[in-house]
Amino acid sequence: MMITPFTTEKHEALRQHVRMFAETEIRPIAHKLDKEERFSPELTKKMGEAGFFGQYLPEKYGGQGLDYLSLVITVEEIARVDGSQASTVASHNSLGIGPIYYFGTEEQKQQFLPPLTKGDKLWAFALTETNAGSDSRGTETRANLESNQWVINGSKIFISNAGGPLAAGATVQAITKEENGKNELSIILINTNEPGFERERIANKMMWRSADTGKLKFTNVTVPEKNLLGERGKGSKMMLQTLDSGRLTIGAMGLGLAQGAYEMAMDYAHKREQFGQPIANFQVIAFKLADMATKIELARNTLYNAVWRKDNGKPFGKEAAMAKLYCSEVAKEVADEAVQIHGAYGLVQDSDIERFYRDQRILQIGEGTSEILKLVIGRHIGLK
């Protein structure tokens, strides 16, 4: 049992539960799902039944009353086996459930949250548009208030959990007013079954090929005024606060992927023989593995410290940015060295390390590119 300064026996028992699930339920089919580029509702339902959705929600909303570190450990252990399924869990919990829980009214929480903890419905975080990515205020989707109804027009792209059969709805940032050349941005909750709500799954991805990623289009989609989430005009602030928490789960994906890649490299280095002995015996390979282990240890401590700050009500925006930046970069470095250790065998699609090498690439882009995160960190430490 790997108890750290940040974890308890309960945390580590949860880790073993998630690891067992990942090994028995995900690993046997991960390669096949990736190759077929197929999102699995059946596996998502199993993850819901295993308790991987809504862990940090109070029981009255269908949750388990756990801390955020429990979610981070869950994502980390799933990512150790498969980035696609980790993406489903991370985005649904942090970006789907999170904003409704943190900013919703009691009525909204009671209405939307309980169905999202079972694994048969997923919720999306619809921020990114063709011209709104790193610049989150570049939103062009509009919502006009007409007779106590929001009428929404616009589109979103690269939205997790948005295009598949379990997609139940989305938290959508839209312009709700334009005055003196300045846009008022607000957030609205929209169910996918509303007339005029069109969805399309994005195919031919390099990474997370068995995760659900979609495009959304809104054509006069109409929802009640009460579907406004939080205060009108505070959309950008709420979205950015949501991303702070989301960066912790993306950090967990990087950490878990690095751990999985390292374990594959270690196993291969002991089995692969050259010049009459395992290549792990050669100093050049041993040093690579030692560097991997060191980076993973530092990444885990950096991430868990940021999560501890969130769980204990302390400011964590800077630490979340640092953790996401560092864990994603470590994932890149460890996956690259793991492929190097595998040699040519790491370059074919029948090798799990090839999938890990592809999956790590999104981690330096999603929920804040590495470049944007350095700007965020810079502002926290007093730079302009």
Structure tokens at 326: 């560092």
8 Å CB contact between 384 and 373: no
Query: Cα Rg for the chain, rounded, in angstroms?
Result: 21
Report how far residue 26's alpha carbon sits from residue 82's, in angstroms, rounded to the nearest whole number. 7
Q: Which amino acid is at 9?
A: E
Report how far residue 69's alpha carbon sits from residue 77's, in angstroms, rounded to the nearest whole number. 12
Report how far residue 345's alpha carbon sits from residue 106's, in angstroms, rounded to the nearest whole number. 54
Dihedral sign from CA coordinates of 36, 368, 94, 68: positive
Task: Please identify which of the residues 23, 273, 367, 371 carries the catalytic annotation.
Answer: 367
Q: How far is CA 11 from the centre of its chain?
A: 20
8 Å CB contact between 363 and 331: yes
Report how far residue 130's alpha carbon sits from residue 152's, in angstroms, rounded to the nearest whole number. 17
With CA atoms as reference, report the closest residue to 366 among 106, 125, 164, 115. 125
| Phi, psi for 349 (deg, rounded to 5) | -70, -15
| Phi, psi for 264 (deg, rounded to 5) | -65, -45
8 Å CB contact between 253 and 72: no
Report how far residue 87's alpha carbon sits from residue 50's, in angstroms, rounded to the nearest whole number. 16
CA-based angle 330:324:371, to the nearest 5?
90
Q: Is 167 helix (H, G, I), strand (E, B) or coil?
A: strand
Structure tokens at 135: 């610049």
Residue 225 a catalytic site member: no
- Residue 214's H or E segment, with its range, is strand 213-224
Active site residues: 367
